Amino acid sequence: MPLIKSISGFRGTIGGRPGENLTPEDIVSSVAGYGDWLIRSGAKPLVVIGRDGRPSGPVVSALTAATLQSMGIDVIDCGLATTPTVEMAVISRGAGGGIILSASHNPKEYNALKLLNDRGEFISHEAGQDLIATVRSGNITYADVDDLGSLENDESALQDHIDAVLSHPLVNVEAIRSAGFRVILDAVNSVGAISIPPLCTQLGVSCEVMNGTLDGQFAHNPEPLPANLKDLIHRMETTDADLGIAVDPDVDRLALVGPGGRWIGEEYTLVAVADYVLRHEPGPVVSNLSSSRALANLAETFGQPYHASAVGEVNVVAKMKEVRATIGGEGNGGIIDPRLHYGRDSLIGLALVLSHLATSGKTINELRDGYQHYEMVKDKIQLDPALDLEDALSVMEGLYPETPLSNIDGLKLDFPDGWVHLRGSNTEPIVRVYAEASSQQRAQELAQQVKAKFVELTQGSGE
């Protein structure tokens, strides 16, 4: 794929030509731009880095560290580490920022630089624009020989992360240990294999690992969706395990499978966690516009407000801070617990799910049965690159004068029995279409109705 330079970082496939893919030249220029921004912002010249298990990780990590050192910035290298581990290490080490080397759920040929501020959170939109402008200008100054940065390897960051999860006020370690749970983990041959099992061991949970070889050769498409997790689902069908767990390569998304191989999924990970948290610490909850309505329904049963943000972790975090949310996240299995840190974290997500199971005495299947049932469909519409999407969506609003809607991120239409969300892609000339209703058929109907109106309006064509 082409090299993508966005406010959240830099992403592309390894190899090819500079400016077209994620080549060594692009890695150096991008990291240098980040280093320049860090220095100009007045942040401490210390950056934490860490990588997931993909094959290009060691090369990308070495280039990243050397570039930062060449700018006079000290580097703490966590080595193989989850995204939330690096985020927490930025805070605990008092660093000025962090760089996560992971392309998340993308296949092994991809890699990316995810950029953090001194709070261990993704950099702001404004900072991202500033950084991209610097990279494009090439106006970078490197350090003299006497001012080069240092490199320190940090082998304790993961255990520090686990310790923080174990000491979390809502994680009921005693109840989990007493329950004698057995779980099965699909670690997709990445850093889930070195993070989830030790957490389980310290919680007294038996953990069987599938795809636990840390060679970056993903055993299947690494996005934690049911079509990619057939082996885990089958394993849950043939054992008496209490819970099946799937994480993506950098462990910021958590999907669940129940006894008998029942797909609980990613959308209901956040719902189950929020159910537990709200029983102990009531307060506002937040997810993005494309997440399931089930979370809003749950908040209503507890008499607590629900707030929706634009899609993207940085937007969810901003909304959580604004409303002082007690829990939040994204429907892709990303759990954000502000008591720990403002980042999606599968370790705290799993610990809270296990706490819920242990204290309620219910199975994950029984918990799922207690939540409002919805089905979601996803589609897309090809766009004429010359189309002004903002204008088109504004006209679409006028076609639904009686329908509650949100336009903070594309256009979301809230119908009595479901919703449809249209939003432009950041990387392709398409509009993504998300729809949810109580049945797959109804969700598909809503999606097609709205899609047809948009296509008619823009004189475009569907897929």
Q: Please give the positions annotated as active site.
A: 104
Burial track 295-334 (b if 16+ CB lie within 10 A, e otherwise): bbebbeebebebbbbbbbbbbbbbbbeebebbbbbbbbbb
53 closest CA partner among 108, 131, 120, 125: 108
* Other Cβ atoms closer than 10 A to 350: 29
Q: Return d(Cα 257, Cα 188) in angstroms, integer.
A: 15
Element (H, E) at 302: none
Burial of 416 (0-12, 13-18, 19+ CB in 10 A): exposed
Alpha-helical regions (H) of 94-241? 125-137, 157-166, 173-179, 192-202, 230-237
Q: Return d(Cα 262, Cα 365) in angstroms, integer.
A: 7
Q: Taking a C-beta distance cutoff of 8 angstroms, is the pair 3, 21 a contact?
A: yes
Q: Taking a C-beta distance cutoff of 8 angstroms, is the pair 196, 247 a contact?
A: yes
Q: Return d(Cα 42, Cα 44) in angstroms, integer.
A: 7
**Phi, psi dihedral angles at 138 (to 5 degrees):** 70, 15
Q: Return d(Cα 27, Cα 21) in angstroms, integer.
A: 10
Q: Return d(Cα 111, Cα 59) in angstroms, integer.
A: 11
Q: Taking a C-beta distance cutoff of 8 angstroms, is the pair 310, 7 a contact?
A: no
For 407, the token pair is 């336009």
